[in-house]
Amino acid sequence: MTVRTKSKLPNRYLPDVRARAVQMVFEHQGSYETQVGAIAAIAPQIGCIPQTLSGLTLSTEEQSSPIVKREATKYKTVSRNVSTVAISKL
């Protein structure tokens, strides 16, 4: 998992288009072997690259699931600690 920052660029996709695209991923991921497969198939349909749709899906999952939020928080804390240790050893 990577730590993402807010982009300074305006959002290219309308909120309803983003919501529908993420909904399509969740609805159709059972038809594919992985969620990545569903994302790769759906992204061209809405006119974006799979990485964009993957990011939208991940942020939606983080917002909706307390478990994912807790794990993301733990990851950020561990990443900071590892970075601090790595820098202090230099």
What are the domain boundaries of the chain? 15-89
The set of residues, in sequence order, having a beta carbon less than 8 Å from that of 28 and lying 6+ positions away, is 38, 41, 42
Q: Considering the entire predicted model, what is its pTM?
A: 0.58
Kindly tell me if the per-residue pLDDT of 56 is higher than 70.
Answer: yes
60-89 pLDDT, tens digit each: 877 776 655 566 566 667 666 665 665 665
15-89 in CATH: which number?
1.10.10.10
pLDDT at 78: 65
Q: Tell me whether residue 22 is exposed, middle or buried, using C-beta atoms within 10 angstroms of its C-beta: 0 to 12, 13 to 18, 19 or more.
A: buried
pLDDT confidence bin for 42, thresholds 50/70/90: very high
Specify the residue for token string 């992985």.
Answer: 34
